[in-house]
Amino acid sequence: MIAIPVLRKTGLLGFFAIFLTACDPMVSIEGSFWPAWIICILAGLAVSIVLMWQLVRYRLAPYLGSPLLIAPSLWALCTFIIWLLFYST
């Protein structure tokens, strides 16, 4: 008997989720629409690669710690900043 209220709640959430589809910003590239978050992830990757290259070039990378932790964190930071700059309203 406990499963029935859970199914009702899940069914209602699924029903309302239908109305939330396609609410994200879309970007048209060559006539094909891409979700904006994909563009931000790719731009964040490019910016973080350039920043990591600069850190290595100026010999600052050894002072930051583990590259396995720093590189993905820098990627996420760049992605979130790009999202906020271009898509915050």
Asked if residue 27 lies in contact with residue 33, where contact means CB atoms within 8 angstroms, the answer is: yes
Question: What pLDDT is attached to residue 30?
Answer: 76
Asked if residue 39 lies in contact with residue 27, where contact means CB atoms within 8 angstroms, the answer is: yes
List, as own/partner pairs, every contact residues 35-40 make where C-beta atoms lie below 8 angstroms and the sequence separation is at least 24, other chains included. Answer: 36/83, 36/86, 36/87, 37/83, 40/79, 40/82, 40/83, 40/86, 40/87
Question: What pLDDT is attached to residue 87?
Answer: 83
Residues 6 or more apart whose Cβ sits within 8 Å of residue 75: 44, 45, 48
- Mean pLDDT per 10-residue section of the chain, whose length is 89 residues: 57 67 70 84 96 95 92 96 87
Say how many residues make up the chain.
89
Task: Tell me the backbone φ, ψ of residue 5, rounded to 5 degrees.
Answer: -60, -35
